[in-house]
Structures are given as C-alpha cells and as structure tokens.
C-alpha cells in the first residue's frame, strides 16, 4: 500500500495519505474535496552489499532539519 502526496485543487492544502487499490478515492482532510493533484515524491532505495549498507547514517529524527526526520542523512 503506497503513500501518495497530494495537493488539493480547491484549497491548496498539501498532504500525504495511504492509498489502497480497493479503497475509496482519497479526499482532502481540510475541505473534503476529491479534486486532487498527485505530487511528485522522492523515495529512497538502498542497494548493494550488507557491508555497504552498514556505512549509511541512520535517520535520527532529532536533528531539526527543515525537511523532516531523516533528511539530514541526504546531505
């Protein structure tokens, strides 16, 4: 079940939500509109050996980076 980012065309609210293929169409949590635009989201993929993965920094979530928890590991 993927998490998608949306922007509401009615109120410009940006949010993310879990989308199930069998579930109802997502709606804006602010105004309940279903006129939504999917946003392009970044994702993380870790490839390589277990040894190379051990050298990756763990997301701490406490650094205060403005992009949120784990964003500091991207610098």
What integer pLDDT is reported at residue 26 of this predicted model? 92
Handedness of CA 59, 61, 63, 67 (dihedral sign): positive
3-state SS string for 22-57: CCCCCCCCCCCCCCEEECCCCCCCCCCCHHHHHCCC
In CATH, which of 3.30.1490, 3.30.420, 2.20.28, 1.10.10 is domain 1-40? 2.20.28
Residues 32-57: what's their mean pLDDT? 73
Q: Is 2 helix (H, G, I), strand (E, B) or coil?
A: coil
- pLDDT reading at 75 higher than 50: no
Residue pLDDT, tens place only, 8-43: 999 999 999 988 888 888 999 999 999 999 998 766
Question: What's the CA gap between 60 and 4, in Å, rounded?
Answer: 23
The structure's pTM equals 0.53
What's the confidence (pLDDT) of residue 68?
Answer: 61
């Amino acid at each position: 079940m993927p998490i998608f980012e949306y922007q509401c065309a009615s109120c410009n609210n940006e949010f993310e939500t879990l989308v199930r293929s069998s579930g109802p169409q997502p709606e804006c949590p602010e105004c309940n509109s279903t006129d939504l635009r999917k946003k392009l989201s970044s994702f993380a993929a870790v490839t390589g050996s277990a040894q190379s993965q051990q050298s990756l920094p763990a997301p701490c979530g406490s650094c205060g980076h403005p992009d949120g928890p784990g964003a500091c590991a991207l610098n």
